[in-house]
Chains A and B, each alone.
Chain A
């Protein structure tokens, strides 16, 4: 690029006194035209090659395959799926599986990470050392290696399905995963879900109202307790109103596998454990630096003002710590979501694995890879948009 400037500067434009390359604005325009031109040229080169290659090898293009019958089975699905369904639906199954493992992973990693981060600052020497060791070991070993290890541990270390461990009645642990009793299907569960949703909406409304009232009258409304009561209470009411069903779907060994109950497959367990453990080490560091960043004087000042320790933490320390924590935490959440693509290596049917099968079966590599990238980009963008919004909300308003 440096050479380009020199030639651009050296070239004289005949008869243009107002148009001079030594003028920075003109140079900027020329520069940009050159750069954009180069990018367009390279892009055109690649695209024309691709089109030429596709045509020459008569490879099919377009997304019409999404409506064709997928004809392959998927081990785990949150929505109904059978090989009769379309590639489109198969992909949706994959996306949901990715979201499932990412969301659960994010929650668990945050909990474990926070605990470990706090433990590293503990005054208990043993606990602090143990937490440091955890962080330093986990952080410095490739996540894929950890994943393989967890998977091998489950599929090799546990007994075969016929001699499954049975630690609690109805709970079985074997190479086929963890099988636990699940509540039998009942309309009550749906009603409880709706009730919980209503409770959340109500809580948000009450919070707004309480804030407005506090601003006007100074009276404090116990939002926290009300919210807790609502979120636990409403579903409970729904449960009792629905006749409080207690029937459990107990797993039984039938033929090759357990039938009934809820299954946590070895693949899901391995990918979830791998992601959680790996990311929690990074979150621990984020939390630790967040806590260190808040000056001890802040606590003392809050105490001096007569704030009890609960509100001190909630109104003084946390808001400041969060400001430091949220941006790196966001990128850890994004990393976890992206790392969930490693599922491919151990056979958990996430979106990459399904898209990979699809592109193998249809031979449409470009469409397959585009779908993977597009989905991840939208997930990443939504997480970062949300976190940016949240970050802005809690950011320090500078004068």
Chain B
């Protein structure tokens, strides 16, 4: 009996052999054969398993981009669903290589939690959702309301700050699991549900019927730039994650999509040739395949495709690009040049 247990234990202990600056997480990941990615356990549009157990979502796709950059295979990846509470210990301890779990970039997380944040994949802000029947038009009218909020998030703090600064009272109902908070809101336990606007849209979009009964109030009370994170101490790995995400933004800027990427391989534009690896150099500098950008676009798509597929107007979330439009179209998505 013991030997079986020992074997099981040995199989379950994953030694990621020294995540220090010298050993190199890239080599570890390559020899392991897959990328470990921490995602949300169930947030439609961002990280959510479908009924067949396949992971889908914006955060999930950016992790896939990293896997494609390294292995040219979006399936060489293992997703670990993480709660709000577990996410930082998981990335700190090396249980996951990338944390892509709608995590807001903040100063303390960048410093005392010991994370490095890749480019922002979704510019968000905290909002309020209420039932239309209440007739509330503005968050300023929420004095005395009961508010459902998930614990262990920046949301909980912003909420307290907002009501304090507006001299209003509220009654929090704080629950740890996202699903439970939503259930409590829809059951009518609270008047208001507060979360990132994208999250609210996802929640509302997930209601089978009566999504139109709930309105998201116009006030956005915080800045929530959501970005994937890696831990301190491995610059090469950080670079790979960072530039894998930049590829998707740059591709949209060039107008390259997963459908037409092959037409651009022999483009006249030297920038594009460098970008797609027809002119070598970029991949080598990063330590991955020269065609990594081509592969990411081909297999995952550009930023716009990823956005539309997971959270865009055609999805139940029905989110507009807004701040997440390219800088050339009045948004904030902007990448440093590939040269």
Contacts and interface: CB of A to CB of B under 8 A. Distances in A.
Verify whether A and B have any Cβ pair under 8 Å: yes
Interface of A: 53, 56-60, 71-75, 83-84, 152, 155-156, 160-161, 175-176, 254-257, 259, 266-267, 344-347, 349, 353, 356-357, 359-361, 363, 365
Given A266-B189, A360-B85, 9 more contacts: A57-B92, A58-B114, A155-B187, A176-B146, A255-B145, A257-B191, A259-B144, A360-B84, A363-B112
Nearest to B111: A58
A347 B89 contact: no
B175 A75 contact: no
Given A57-B231, A361-B157, A83 B173 contact: no
Contacts of B84: 360
Contact of A59 (B112, B173, B177, B188): B112
B135 to A, nearest CB: 11
B175 A357 contact: no
B269 interface: no
B323 interface: no
Interface of B: 84-85, 88-89, 92-93, 108, 111-114, 134, 142-146, 151-153, 156-157, 159-161, 163-164, 170-177, 180, 184, 187-189, 191, 231-233
Nearest to B191: A256
Contact of B172 (A73, A160, A256, A365): A73
Given A57-B114, A57-B231, A155-B184, A72 B156 contact: yes
Given A58-B111, A357-B174, A365-B89, A347 B144 contact: no
Q: Which 4 A-B pairs have the closest CB atoms?
A: A360-B152, A57-B114, A83-B160, A347-B175
B157 A175 contact: no
Contact of A72 (B88, B111, B160): B160
A256 B233 CA distance: 50
B114 A59 contact: yes
B176 A75 contact: no
Contacts of A254: 144
B189 A155 contact: yes
Contacts of A267: 173
A160 B188 contact: yes
Contact of B232 (A57, A161, A176, A353): A57
A161 B114 CA distance: 45
A395 B72 CA distance: 75
A73 B189 contact: no
B114 A156 contact: no
Nearest to A357: B151
Most chain B beta-carbon contacts within 10 A, residue among A72, A152, A255, A349: A72
Contacts of A156: 187
Contacts, number: 115
Nearest to B131: A160
Contacts of B108: 363
Nearest to A84: B164
Contacts of A74: 172, 174
A57 B20 CA distance: 11
A161 B131 CA distance: 13
A60 B109 CA distance: 11
B164 A363 contact: no
A78 B171 CA distance: 14
A75 B145 contact: no
Contacts of A360: 84-85, 151-153
Contacts of B159: 72-73
Nearest to A156: B187
Contacts of A58: 111-112, 114, 232
Contacts of B176: 344-345, 347, 353, 356
A225 B70 CA distance: 84
Given A356-B176, A357-B174, A363-B112, A71 B188 contact: no
A175 B112 contact: no
Contact of A73 (B88, B153, B160, B187): B160
Contact of B189 (A56, A72, A84, A175): A175
Contacts of B156: 72-73, 357, 361
A257 B112 contact: no
A347 B112 contact: no
A347 B184 contact: yes
Contacts of B153: 360
A349 to B, nearest CB: 7
A386 to B, nearest CB: 33
A219 B88 CA distance: 71
A40 to B, nearest CB: 24
Contacts of B188: 155, 160-161, 175
Contacts of B231: 57
B174 A353 contact: yes
B113 A363 contact: yes
22 contacts: A58-B232, A59-B112, A59-B113, A60-B112, A72-B156, A72-B174, A73-B156, A75-B174, A155-B189, A175-B187, A175-B188, A256-B144, A257-B144, A257-B145, A344-B176, A347-B180, A347-B184, A357-B174, A360-B84, A361-B156, A361-B157, A363-B108
Contact of B145 (A53, A84, A256, A365): A256
